[in-house]
Structure 1
């Protein structure tokens, strides 16, 4: 058994520094994952024993939203293997609680090993600083603050895909963390969020921010209508069209995937659901296949400016070419990422 020390750094602002709820953490690594481990009330540090988890990759943190003041702002979480001395840093910078941020009661954080030359004092001070690059990603409306250009976003996405391709060509012992390449800083999720956020009409309607997951839910509803109409047409005519030519198979996959994520991840916020969608769609080789149906959907023209990636046929073709490079590889997701889905 290995002792692990977990230190949570909440916001120093009084309103988000503590929670009345019952909080918990769950760790995932290359050799396994833990169940939910309770965080002692009014404490931000705990030590627990568990069989060796290997290199740590993910940390889930959540609470049950109970009590008078459940809302909790977590900046970072540190986890130390007390045997090896290795420490992992999990950036968060997000709220946990209903009615704030994206309403999440659970966050999936991606960690990086802290270099050995970083002193404890420097590490603690960095964890008390609000997160600028959030994990797994920032709320959709805030992504526009980065003021990225189309060439910037294309470069970031191309680099993230190239890093994944290089990962699969390396010997297995030299590969490192696939989860980090998917969900870490400038990983596939982050870069596709940049793509989908560009030109996204995330303005406030009736006092509510729109998130990218709102777009995918509306697309799901539209695709469900199209698939139902296609089934009725087939029943009347007896003629079945090739679903591949018309994108019907890809539409059906998206509908099923969004439904599974919503049904099994009710405590996750909208941004974490987007992260799950990208990871699962990459594994299913769905990402390049779904772009043309998305481009043709009236939901896209309603929720995106004309300057967006999704409304420009050439930019969509470029995205398809870049993302198709991942089709040659078998993406295996850690169970800590897909818990409750698979």
Structure 2
């Protein structure tokens, strides 16, 4: 356990800025494999009669058999694609019902995986699942709490019947709860997994009045679900699909049908029903024509929620990852009564931090990198930092009329397209920039997706980062006469010194090969 924790903690220590450690997924797998061998050796020690290839699995099977004689309530059904649509709109509590902690249930999950043929394989898969759920010590404690069974299977001198050694051993395993393993999710990549979805609309603004047909699409590191239609008036459902890996984004939208096709979604939760990992995807925006930025679909970036382990189990966690956007930032429209205005220094700082996060990401070994999508689109990510740049000194429009950054970018595009034909600007480099900018804006406007103006801005920033064009576009926009009309004289974009430093910061992204998640650029032909 010490070696495994040093490897794992060492990696996190690096993230906190101590020393340099290199561990790959291969090493982690090797260490977990050695742990499984060690557990097999412990379970083989002092056996009365050797049964099967895996002593641990045969002990678990005996335990399961004993428990089934004393039946416990609660069964698990996995038939069809939508397993259940339990909750209707009237139910008040927006939290998911917690998953039952059950050793037998976790065994059943393993027994349902047809790809695992041998007892040794099943025992290893069960250990991996228990480690990922931070339940290994607790499960083994339950297994060994059936003293009658342990006496029946083991001789008096066996390791598992020496109380001091057994306690010490379970205590060592408890220390794994301090770190996050994905040793089950990342190994069994082709198995079917039930996922539970909960959509939480805003209570304040008539969440119950919604006539359109919603849909959702969930993406993870290993794949995506494709579009799933959500039955109308259903906010909670379970479906089965191939393991998606760690979840990254949710796309949610509706078909704009019926009298009341406006929907204010606070957040979406998705839980992997096998590992219990729950992800939250904050939204806090409207989906509907004529509302907010007119978006009928949104791409939400998620983060893994940390589990609350029992009070008696030592509380200690690995440092949290970047956060997905909070509610406040998501009401982003530029209106006079908007959130407190940031000064240019604060904006430069947030750009610096966002770019720094991306640079650090690429300096880590590949296996340890977090989600690039969060660094681009999450809270404090590149998109939100550039949003602040373009909002600074934006002239307040007439009352009751929201103007979005995208409106400004479209005007700038129109200006350059008009210029382009008259060839007013002889400088070759400048024309290439203007053409690339116009081409991207047009491609994003022509996407078949119903993404609103803020979503389009997000897409432009992600594509600009991918193709190393952001610093060119900033230079282009700073010189544009539309900028002169739409921004106050004090605006950051009109200050040459600040613009030049912004360009230099963005240039540091040129050396990195940024690949975007499919969900961010779906439907764009460029």
The normalised TM-score by structure 1 is: 0.89
Q: Which runs of 5+ in 2 are unaligned?
A: 1-191, 311-325
Asked if 1:216 corresponds to 2:404, the answer is no
Asked if 1:132 corresponds to 2:328, the answer is yes
Equivalent of residue 329 in structure 1, options 501, 512, 515: 512
Residues 41-80 of structure 1 mapped to structure 2, 5 A cutoff: 41-80=232-271
RMSD: 1.9
For residue 226 of structure 1, what is the aligned residue in structure 2?
419
2:503 and 2:209 map into 1 onto residues whose CA distance is: 45
Asked if 1:259 corresponds to 2:471, the answer is no
Asked if 1:91 corresponds to 2:276, the answer is no
Residues 1-342 of structure 1 mapped to structure 2, 5 A cutoff: 1-117=192-308, 131-134=327-330, 138-141=332-335, 144-204=338-398, 207-230=400-423, 241-244=426-429, 247-342=430-525
Say which structure, 1 or 2, has more relative contact order (CA 8 Å, 6+ apart): 1
Q: Which runs of 5+ in 1 are unaligned?
A: 120-129, 235-240
CA apart distance, 1:77:
0.5
Contact 2:447–2:523, Cα closer than 8 Å, also in 1: yes
Q: How many residues align?
A: 319
Contact 2:333–2:402, Cα closer than 8 Å, also in 1: no
CA apart distance, 1:242:
4.9
Bigger Rg, structure 1 or 2: 2
CA apart distance, 1:201:
1.8
* CA displacement 1:277-303 (0-9 Å, x = unmatched): 100011111111112221111100111
CA apart distance, 1:117:
2.2
Contact 1:63–1:106, Cα closer than 8 Å, also in 2: yes
Question: What SS class does the counterpart of residue 264 from structure 1 fall into?
Answer: coil
Change (3 A) 1:133 1:139: same
CA apart distance, 1:55:
1.1
* CA displacement 1:140-170 (0-9 Å, x = unmatched): 3389413211111111110110010000010
Contact 1:204–1:210, Cα closer than 8 Å, also in 2: no
1:322 and 1:140 map into 2 onto residues whose CA distance is: 25
1:28 and 1:66 map into 2 onto residues whose CA distance is: 26
Contact 1:11–1:17, Cα closer than 8 Å, also in 2: no
* CA displacement 1:65-119 (0-9 Å, x = unmatched): 1111111110010000111110110000011111111111001110011012289
CA apart distance, 1:14:
4.6
Structure 1 segments of 4 or more deviating over 3 A?
140-144
Question: What SS class does the counterpart of residue 147 from structure 1 fall into?
Answer: coil
Compare 181-190 and 144-153 and name the one that shifted more: 144-153
2:334 and 2:217 map into 1 onto residues whose CA distance is: 26
2:432 and 2:211 map into 1 onto residues whose CA distance is: 46
Q: Choose between structure 1 and 2: higher strand proportion.
A: 1
1:249 and 1:221 map into 2 onto residues whose CA distance is: 16
CA apart distance, 1:229:
1.2
* CA displacement 1:37-64 (0-9 Å, x = unmatched): 1111111111111111111111111001
1:143 and 1:257 map into 2 onto residues whose CA distance is: 32
Question: What SS class does the counterpart of residue 40 from structure 1 fall into?
Answer: coil
Question: What SS class does the counterpart of residue 476 from structure 2 fall into?
Answer: helix
Question: What SS class does the counterpart of residue 500 from structure 2 fall into?
Answer: helix
